[in-house]
């Protein structure tokens, strides 16, 4: 994944973060899960479950079947089509996918939600962190591992 320095990736003190696009279950091998890891303010690694690529491929096939005039009368379809092609190219060729600002914000919110105590910012902009903490004060403590003993 790629962004620009105007919309940099944040990194938390627990940078390997999981997110499920299809539900709430998290884990390697769970359908819809992505493992996110920021590498720098401009690049991040996103390891997507194959089920996500399959859903994107199905969407691309549907768009391929649309008549040409659909793209003329609804130009927003063309933008979505271009983005879908870029994402599939990223999956197949390993080319970094340029993230839209709202996608980068989503990525950063996952970093914030998974941070234990600290979030680091390239440019010192912590507005999203402050907004999320104001909305959900429980994020201040970060996720904790609970160990249960006994049966």
Among residues 16, 38, 12, 43, the alpha carbon closest in space to that of 118 is found at 12
- Residue at 126 is within a domain: yes
Mean pLDDT, range 90-103, rounded to an integer: 86
Cα separation, 130 vs 30, whole angstroms = 31
* pTM recorded for the entire structure: 0.79
> For residue 17, is it within any domain?
yes
Task: Provide the domain count of the chain.
Answer: 1
Domain limits for position 50: 11-58+96-141
Average pLDDT, the chain: 87
Where are the strands (E) in the chain, listed by range? 11-12, 17-20, 33-38, 44-48, 119-120
Quick one: pLDDT at residue 74? 78
Contact 12, 112 (CB under 8 A): yes
Question: Is residue 75 scored above 80 in pLDDT?
Answer: no
DSSP 8-state code for residue 2? B
In a domain, 148, yes or no: no
């Amino acid at each position: 994944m790629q962004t620009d320095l105007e919309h940099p990736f944040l990194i938390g003190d627990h940078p390997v973060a999981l997110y499920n696009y299809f539900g709430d279950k998290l884990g390697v091998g769970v359908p819809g899960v992505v493992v996110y890891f920021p590498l720098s303010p401009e690049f991040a690694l996103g390891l997507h479950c194959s089920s996500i690529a399959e859903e994107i491929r199905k969407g691309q096939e549907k768009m391929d079947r649309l008549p040409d005039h659909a793209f003329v009368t609804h130009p927003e379809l063309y933008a979505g089509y271009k983005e879908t092609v870029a994402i599939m190219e990223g999956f197949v060729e390993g080319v970094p996918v340029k993230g839209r600002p709202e996608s980068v914000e989503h990525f950063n919110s996952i970093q914030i939600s998974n941070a234990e105590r600290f979030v680091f910012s390239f440019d010192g902009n912590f507005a999203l962190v402050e907004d999320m903490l104001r909305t959900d004060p429980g994020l201040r403590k970060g996720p904790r591992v609970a160990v249960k003993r006994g049966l």
